[in-house]
């Protein structure tokens, strides 16, 4: 490892005073866990520090390089330099990828690891020799060699698309909410957008258009998803959403709907009863029919017997035929 350190120092033009900082910057947390080492020996704390130092140094360089450029332009240019994709490439360029110690069984061995190690490396240089030396290293050994500031400033980076692609890959729900709209001191409209992941606020961004505010908010969210604490909270919320069983909604009928249903039911029953009470004009002999008064089944006798029966009964006792008017 010492020989690798010497080779890296030769390529970078930087020699560590405290070699332990170098080793810690290149020790991934998965390696520390696998070998039961203290968390303090992994690079997570140095990564946190290096992220902040890198933002400040790149902002300083970009500010001095681009004279008379607006804040939005400077912010976007800095973002293109410190984004994960660029840092991954820089880590490979200087050979950090070959020196990182990590567990091969760890699922965290992903596209973030090289960029995270680069941030930890910058944090280690800052602790080793201070801000000015760290800035000199970034400007002379990194920016001037591997990054064309003018070219990268013109490069279009769609942070919103990157965030949506990440959400689809990880099956996360992402939404963009316009939370505020106001005027700046020159009466120009300004928009503020918030990104939410599984309903949890992940970043806000402002811009002179909705699109610009969404891009800036997505950029913040992309940085946010790198934080283990935030992502553990998101995973918990996602698990709660997936385990929550939604009971089928039972829509209760209103009084008017119930009355209408009852009315239709009664109407249907009346129509059915009327149909059953209809006596045909001619009936064949010895055919069974339903009695209209009590639904009892009676046998229709031959015509002569029927006439004798009708004569013996009072006219008031005879059932009234629905077809009487037609006879």
**CATH number for the domain harbouring residue 100:** 1.10.1520.10
Please tell me whether residues 146 and 162 are part of one structural domain: no
Instruction: Please give the Cα distance from 96 to 109 (Å, whole number).
Output: 14
SS3 state at 10 = helix
> Is the Cβ–Cβ distance between 241 and 227 less than 8 Å?
no
Please tell me whether residues 3 and 126 are part of one structural domain: yes
Tell me the pLDDT of the chain (327 aa) as tens digits. 566 677 778 878 888 999 899 989 988 888 777 766 666 678 899 999 999 999 999 999 999 999 989 888 898 899 889 988 899 999 999 998 888 888 766 544 456 789 999 999 999 999 999 999 999 999 999 999 999 999 998 887 788 888 998 999 888 999 999 999 998 887 888 999 999 999 999 999 998 889 889 988 998 999 899 888 899 999 988 888 777 645 444 444 445 445 555 565 566 566 555 555 544 444 444 444 444 444 444 444 444 444 444 444 444 444 444 444 434
- Domain containing 96 equals 1-155
Q: Hey, what long-range contacts does 280-288 have (CB within 8 A, 24 or more apart)?
A: 281/323, 281/326, 281/327
- 51 labelled catalytic: yes
Among the listed residues 119, 128, 194, 198, the single catalytic one is: 119
**Domain presence at residue 128:** yes
Please tell me whether residues 91 and 12 are part of one structural domain: yes
Please tell me whether residues 32 and 138 are part of one structural domain: yes
Total domain count, the chain? 2
Q: Which residues pair with 73 in a beta bridge?
A: none
Indicate the pairing of strand 288-290 with strand 189-197.
unpaired
Please tell me whether residues 188 and 237 are part of one structural domain: yes
Instruction: Please give the Cα distance from 239 to 243 (Å, whole number).
Output: 6
**Domain presence at residue 309:** no
Q: Which residues pair with 275 in a beta bridge?
A: none
Indicate the pairing of strand 200-207 with strand 288-290.
unpaired
Instruction: Please give the Cα distance from 12 to 94 (Å, whole number).
Output: 7
SS3 state at 173 = coil
Among the listed residues 4, 7, 38, 51, the single catalytic one is: 51
CATH code, domain with 189: 3.30.160.20
């Amino acid at each position: 490892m010492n020989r690798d350190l010497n080779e890296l120092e030769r390529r970078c033009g930087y020699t560590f005073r405290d070699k332990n900082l170098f080793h810690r910057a290149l020790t991934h947390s998965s390696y520390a866990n696998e070998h039961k080492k203290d968390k303090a020996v992994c690079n997570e704390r140095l990564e946190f520090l290096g992220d902040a130092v890198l933002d400040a140094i790149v902002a300083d360089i970009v500010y001095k390089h681009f004279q008379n450029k607006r804040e939005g332009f400077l912010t976007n240019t800095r973002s293109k330099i410190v984004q994960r994709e660029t840092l991954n490439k820089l880590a490979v360029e200087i050979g950090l990828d070959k020196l990182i110690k990590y567990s091969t069984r760890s699922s965290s061995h992903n596209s973030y690891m090289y960029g995270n190690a680069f941030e930890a490396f910058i944090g280690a240089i800052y602790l080793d020799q201070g801000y000015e030396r760290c800035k000199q290293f970034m400007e002379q050994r990194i920016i001037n060699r591997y990054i064309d500031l003018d070219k990268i400033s013109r490069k279009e980076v769609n942070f919103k698309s990157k965030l949506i692609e990440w959400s689809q890959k990880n099956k996360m729900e992402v939404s963009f909410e316009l939370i505020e709209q106001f005027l700046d001191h020159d009466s120009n409209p300004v928009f503020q957008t918030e990104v939410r992941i599984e309903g949890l606020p992940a970043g806000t961004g402002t811009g002179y258009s909705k699109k610009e505010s969404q891009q800036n908010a997505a950029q913040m969210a992309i940085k946010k998803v790198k934080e283990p604490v935030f992502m553990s909270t998101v995973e918990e919320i996602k698990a709660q959403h997936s385990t929550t069983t939604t009971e089928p909604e039972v829509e209760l009928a209103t009084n008017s709907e119930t009355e209408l249903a009852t009315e239709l039911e009664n109407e249907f029953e009346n129509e059915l009863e009327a149909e059953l009470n209809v006596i045909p004009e001619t009936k064949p002999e010895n055919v069974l029919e339903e009695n209209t008064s009590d639904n009892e089944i009676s046998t229709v006798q031959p015509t002569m017997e029927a006439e004798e029966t009708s004569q013996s009964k009072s006219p008031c006792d005879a059932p009234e035929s629905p077809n009487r008017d037609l006879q």
